[in-house]
């Protein structure tokens, strides 16, 4: 009787392997000290293969953020669906910290490097905006409305401040981290509340401005119409 072929063991995604190699090296040596050939060697792949996967360490770091996003999005808690937004976002951010925990040593080194590099900080902010667009959506926060961008950037700021505390928090219970998150969320909610009030108060003026803007081109077309008519008469064939 012929033996059945052994079931293939799924191979790890090479992108994930490269990202994890980078984070392990950064934890041991620091961000600036890690070179791309070291990452390729650690990942067990040729440098050319790494080049096909990522153009830079910064791109690998953005990929790391997407790995965390996937883990958090796949671990959504259905029991919180009916809870207030504050509780849902709090849980979301704590789950993101849980996903980051195995890489804490590397993240400490990355924070040290980013503080001295404004361009890197700006790039990380752009990547974070993409992350939190999805993460907020996963817990039912609308992000495509007029205040959507404010909500997303606000979440980035709240989480960044929380992470800053978390990286220095050695307490397994994360009391300081949770206190910072609670405080920053309430501060963000106050800012969003002011913005929402301003949006409601200015709604009539914005509607009026929109109506004027829409009416102006029509009025200009009417004003130009007789001139075009006269031009046509000038060139009309004689009857």
For residue 45, name the pLDDT band (cuts at 50, 70, 90): very high
Split at pLDDT 50, 70, 90, the class of 225 is low
Give the number of other CB atoms < 10 A from CB of residue 214.
9
Cβ burial, residue 65 (10 Å; 0-12/13-18/19+): middle
The pLDDT of residue 7 is: 46
Q: What is the mean pLDDT of the chain?
A: 84
Give me Rg for the CA atoms of the chain. 27
Residue owning tokens 């950037």:
153
Q: Cβ(156)–Cβ(132) under 8 Å?
A: yes
With a cut of 50, say whether residue 4 has pLDDT above it.
no
Please report which residue ranges of 139-174 form alpha helices under DSSP H: 148-167
pLDDT value at position 198?
63
pLDDT at 195 (0 to 100): 74
Residue pair 97/15 in contact (Cβ under 8 Å)? The answer is: no
Instruction: Provide the token pair at 123.
Output: 């790039």
Closest CA to 42 of 62, 7, 4, 14: 14
pTM: 0.76
The Cα–Cα gap between 120 and 9 comes to 38
Residue of 45, 95, 89, 119 whose CA lies nearest to 187: 89
Closest CA to 23 of 86, 83, 130, 102: 102
Contact 128, 136 (CB under 8 A): no
Please tell me whether residue 74 adopts helix, strand or coil conformation: coil
C-alpha span between 153 and 130 (Å, rounded) = 10
Apex CA 128: angle with CA 122 and CA 133, to 5°?
A: 135
pLDDT of residue 145: 87
- Range of weakest confidence among 51-55, 166-170, 179-183, 231-235: 231-235
What pLDDT, in 10s, does the model give residues 169-212? 999 999 999 999 999 999 988 887 777 756 555 555 445 455 55
């Amino acid at each position: 009787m012929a033996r059945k072929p052994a079931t293939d063991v799924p191979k790890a995604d090479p992108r994930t392997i490269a990202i994890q190699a980078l984070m392990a090296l950064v934890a041991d040596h620091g961000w600036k000290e890690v070179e791309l050939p070291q990452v390729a060697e650690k990942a067990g792949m040729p440098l050319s293969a790494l080049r096909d996967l990522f153009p830079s360490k910064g791109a690998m770091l953005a990929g790391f953020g997407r790995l965390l996003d996937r883990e958090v999005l796949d671990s959504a808690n259905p029991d919180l669906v009916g809870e207030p937004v504050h509780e849902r976002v709090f849980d979301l951010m704590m789950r993101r910290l849980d996903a980051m925990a195995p890489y804490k040593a590397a993240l400490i080194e990355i924070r040290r490097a980013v503080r001295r590099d404004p361009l890197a900080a700006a790039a990380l902010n752009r990547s974070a905006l993409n992350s939190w667009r999805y993460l907020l959506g996963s817990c039912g926060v609308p992000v495509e409305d007029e205040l959507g961008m404010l909500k997303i950037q606000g979440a980035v700021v709240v989480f960044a401040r929380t992470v800053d505390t978390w990286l220095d928090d050695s307490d397994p219970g994360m009391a300081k981290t949770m206190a910072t998150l609670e405080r920053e969320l309430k501060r963000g909610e106050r800012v969003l509340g002011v913005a929402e009030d301003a949006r409601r108060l200015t709604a009539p003026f914005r509607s009026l401005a929109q109506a004027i803007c829409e009416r102006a081109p029509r009025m200009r077309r009417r004003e130009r119409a007789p001139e075009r008519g006269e031009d046509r008469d000038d060139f009309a064939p004689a009857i």
